[in-house]
Structure 1
Amino acid sequence: MKQFLCAALLVFSVGWAQQNPSAVQQALQQAQAALEAGRLNEAVQGFEAVIARDFTNYTAHFGLGLALYRLGDLRGAAFEFTQLTVLDPSRFEGWFNLGVVRDRQGQAAEAAEAFGKAIEVGEKANLGPTDLKPAYVGQVKALRAQGQHEAAAGAARRGLEKLPGDPDLTVLLADSLVRAGKPLEALPLLYQVLGRDPSNVLVISQIADIYVAQGLPQRALREIDRGLEAAQDNAVRAQLLLKKSSLQQGRDQLASLQEAVRLDPKLWTAQYNLGVARLREGNTRGALEAFQSAYAQNPDDPRILLGLATTYDRLGQAAEAGRFAAMAARLSQGNERFEALFLQGKSAYTLRRYGEAVELLSQVTQQRPDNAEAWFLLGVSQFNLKDYAAAAQSLERAQSLAPSAATAANLGAALYSAGRYSDAERVLSQAVALDGRNPVAWYNLGLALRSLGRTAEARRAWQRSAELGYAPARELLR
């Protein structure tokens, strides 16, 4: 888009200079020279000076809009290109450039309207189809951005009437039809493009998706394989293998991903997916290598950060797990964010930062109340902070969600520490019944029994704890 805009400026500014010899011509030429040399602030000042003398100067507004656009001042650029549509609403470039800026601003409806107007005035001015193509493409994309896929398909068809067989517009039409729920209408269009470009990744991916949706995954794989046979460029082959891997499982998926990263080590999505696949297979070290490669290419993607946090957690490297989990939590939303917060909280617990662990895990349990492990870690963190009542409540919730001997043993300890001796005795009896080789559970059971006045039973519990090697129990038996 930027190249097109600059070329338009050169064409139209020359025409202006030939037709308007005046005192401001030198100032206009100086501003234009500054723009072409990349001295954007100087260009802005120069064009503004011309406009101050002659507000109706079309070329000055055009140049100022381009300079502001290149400086990233989209609001200022939009204002200037709007002035072009007011000064001469019959000229294509004003409407087109306004559409480009509105698109960059995320104002899809306004962009579609501006591109549509550009097409209308361009056709009236008998501009060639090639000159109008960017407006056709821009209008289709702006309509798609609004979810108006039927309208986008119509706009693409109108463009194809002027540019029959154009591959870009054909692909946009096919994609719009797919999004509009008409994939079978899109299929012949995609094959039309594929006939000219047999290794087109986007087209092959669309065709594969259509066949998968029709319950024909093997045919989808065969189409991808034909693309791989036709592709000469390693980067293209890597992207096709990445697509192929999404339709595979197990060893076949791993093989495709490994070949993709071999062909194009910079394809971070393949590296990331390889990390996920290796993690699923239990190859934690291999997963770490893949995630690190993806991170080197794209360090701000929250999925990669979460993958690294998960891998470091499985490797028992709590500090690294917490570091990457914190970065992932800042950049992610929804389920990914709470998964990152959980790993961050788990890391804090492991590193004995119990206050931080309670803060993080409380957020997780509030939003994901069915996460038993989060409740467990929250409870043992609260226990270490001597908040025994809260610890008992959290561990009770964990035990109700996923009963286990370990959770029962910790819950019993919390109940005992909170002074709930009868409840502690009941839960700890369950814990030793589930796992008779837990010396700490036997020890705590003895403490609860003693508090209930059942001394003989307490000594038998401590005896069992001592037999299992727990020194504090031996001390109590003396």
Structure 2
Amino acid sequence: MKQLLCAALLLLALGWAQPAPAVQQTLQQAQAALEAGRLNEAVQGFEAVIARDFTNYSAHFGLGLALYRLGDLRGAAFEFTQLTVLDPNRFEGWFNLGVVRDRQGQAAEAAQAFARAIEVGEKANLGIADLKPAYVGQVKALRTQGQHEAAAAAARKGLEKAPGDAELTALLADSLVRANKPLEALPALYQILNNDPANVQAIAQIADIYVAQGLPQRALRELDRGLEAVRDNASRAQLLLKKSSLQQGREQLASLQEAVRLDPKLWAAHYNLGLARLREGNTRGALESFQNAYAQNPDEPRVLLGLATTYDRLGQAAEAGRFAALAARSSQGADRLEALLLQGKAAYTQRRYAEAVEVLSQVAQQKPDSAEAWFFLGVSQFNLRDYTAAIDSLEKAQALAPSASTAANLGAALYSAGRYSDAERVLSQAVALDSRNAVAWYNLGLTLRSLGRTAEARRAWQRSADLGYAPARELLR
């Protein structure tokens, strides 16, 4: 956070005008209270001076400082605005107004105030030590507004006054990257590395630029050079996390494992390690990684979704549903739909069919090409005995991704709705696709019996019984 210009300039401000002796004494007492930290006393003193001499520059200056330190930003902004009115050609009024506007979240006004401070400061031949904070403030205020090209131009102007300044160079490079001018940023980034080979942000940005240029191996070499230069564990972990994004398989796992070893608090490394372990089928290992990520960042939606996915694969429906619901509340877009799907599946598994239908209906409406959403919606509707809706959902699922399981459930829904001919056709497809589906054989037998084909029904039940389905054996007695 930038600091206000205060003590030295406040004393200089005394020469701007000579107040009456009584006013001068009150002013000096207020200044002494300010320097001693008795802020409320200082406010009263400065206000007393202003009441008798509203044009007193030093009183407005001191009151602005006191109010700022008390957290009264609106009051401080008013006082520093008065300085710019009383003497628009003085640097400190504009600079301090810029600082306060920045603290108020008024980036456009802050940028304007800093620009004016630079203008009047240069006319007054102030040194770079005085001007640099205004350049930095202007650049940051422009960046806050998303005006990254303008921020880069302001940083370049500052570097004309302070060639090689590390802070302004870093702001220039980052602003150019954000302005989608990465190749212009490269010289500045390498300048940073020449002075600070262990600068993690510069190393990472250089790597990103080479990746965007289709040069991933060059990016890896830059990251390796950075790893040689960087010594502290947290920074090395950050670079290994970046490196892992350019790797696959065992190399990726090795980089992520080393990253979490170096910095156990780096949640993103734990999270990415969980994803990598899921891809290789190490579900238990993935759970451990996601739990570690959750311990460090329990509000991150991606971590919540990772936990929900992993618990779903482990068959732990209650935990899958709990984390899926949390993820759905804080996610957007595709991640939110994935979380809702997992929540709906968990609700179905726990026989909370009404909840499953409510949640899965949202997924099916927003992502109508999701066969899985239509399937679990259909079987949930079936269990609520809404056979017409179940048939519609399961037909959509089967059309999107034909499978024996979906056909078997669709056949059961058709049978329950009394559509025996359609049920026979679909269930025959189901057992053709999976001849070991005992329940499908059983339902096919029920359907054939309803069609008056008893001998065929008994053969279907016999096949079901041979596969170990007890209800079929009961019907054969």
Range class of TM-score, shorter chain: 0.7 to 0.9
Distance 1:83 1:321, change over 3 A: farther
User: Cα distance, 1:327 vs. partner?
Assistant: 1.7
What runs of 5+ residues in structure 2 fail to find an aligned partner? none
1:150-161 alignment, distance < 5 Å: 150-161=149-160
2:71 aligned counterpart, secondary structure: helix
Q: Which residue of 1 aligns with 2:43?
A: 47
1:396-411 alignment, distance < 5 Å: 396-411=395-410
Residue number among 62, 65, 74 corresponding to 2:68 in the alignment: 65
Q: Which residue of 1 aligns with 2:119?
A: 120
Of residues 100-109 and 342-351 in structure 1, the stretch that sits farther from structure 2 once superposed is: 100-109
Distance 1:361 1:216, change over 3 A: same
Task: Please give the TM-score of this superposition, normalised by the length of structure 1.
Answer: 0.88
2:70 aligned counterpart, secondary structure: helix
Q: Which residue of 1 aligns with 2:416?
A: 417
Counterpart code for 2:444? L
**Inter-partner Cα distance in structure 1 for 2:434 and 2:86:** 85
Q: Are the aligned partners of 2:64 and 2:77 in contact in 1 as well (CA < 8 Å)?
A: no
Of residues 380-389 and 53-62 in structure 1, the stretch that sits farther from structure 2 once superposed is: 53-62
1:441 aligns with 2:435: no
Counterpart code for 1:63? A
Q: Deviations over 1:286-327 (max 9, x none)?
A: 222222222222221111111122122222222222222222
User: Cα distance, 1:458 vs. partner?
Assistant: 2.2
1:54 aligned counterpart, secondary structure: helix
**Inter-partner Cα distance in structure 2 for 1:82 and 1:318:** 61
Counterpart code for 1:221? L
1:26-37 alignment, distance < 5 Å: 26=29, 33=36
Q: Which residue of 2 aligns with 1:40?
A: none
Q: Are the aligned partners of 1:17 and 1:25 in contact in 2 as well (CA < 8 Å)?
A: no
1:376-387 alignment, distance < 5 Å: 376-387=375-386
**Inter-partner Cα distance in structure 2 for 1:416 and 1:337:** 35
**Inter-partner Cα distance in structure 1 for 2:90 and 2:329:** 47
**Inter-partner Cα distance in structure 1 for 2:289 and 2:144:** 33
1:135 aligns with 2:168: no
Q: Which residue of 2 aligns with 1:284?
A: 283
**Inter-partner Cα distance in structure 1 for 2:156 and 2:462:** 86
Distance 1:111 1:312, change over 3 A: farther
Q: Are the aligned partners of 1:443 and 1:465 in contact in 2 as well (CA < 8 Å)?
A: yes
**Inter-partner Cα distance in structure 2 for 1:469 and 1:348:** 28
Distance 1:408 1:12, change over 3 A: same
1:318-337 alignment, distance < 5 Å: 318-337=317-336
Task: Please give the TM-score of this superposition, normalised by the length of structure 2.
Answer: 0.88
Q: RMSD of aligned C-alpha atoms? A: 2.8
**Inter-partner Cα distance in structure 2 for 1:176 and 1:306:** 33
**Inter-partner Cα distance in structure 2 for 1:106 and 1:164:** 30
2:368 aligned counterpart, secondary structure: coil
**Inter-partner Cα distance in structure 2 for 1:79 and 1:338:** 49
**Inter-partner Cα distance in structure 2 for 1:210 and 1:280:** 27
Q: Are the aligned partners of 2:394 and 2:406 in contact in 1 as well (CA < 8 Å)?
A: yes
Larger Rg belongs to: 2
Q: Are the aligned partners of 2:441 and 2:463 in contact in 1 as well (CA < 8 Å)?
A: yes
Q: Are the aligned partners of 1:99 and 1:112 in contact in 2 as well (CA < 8 Å)?
A: yes
User: Cα distance, 1:113 vs. partner?
Assistant: 2.3
Identity within the alignment, %: 77
1:263-412 alignment, distance < 5 Å: 263-412=262-411
User: Cα distance, 1:339 vs. partner?
Assistant: 1.4
1:21 aligned counterpart, secondary structure: helix
User: Cα distance, 1:408 vs. partner?
Assistant: 0.7
Distance 1:61 1:226, change over 3 A: same
Q: Are the aligned partners of 2:29 and 2:45 in contact in 1 as well (CA < 8 Å)?
A: no
Q: Are the aligned partners of 1:28 and 1:60 in contact in 2 as well (CA < 8 Å)?
A: no
1:151-300 alignment, distance < 5 Å: 151-300=150-299
User: Cα distance, 1:179 vs. partner?
Assistant: 3.8
Distance 1:211 1:352, change over 3 A: same
**Inter-partner Cα distance in structure 1 for 2:7 and 2:310:** 55
What runs of 5+ residues in structure 1 fail to find an aligned partner? 37-42
Distance 1:180 1:433, change over 3 A: same
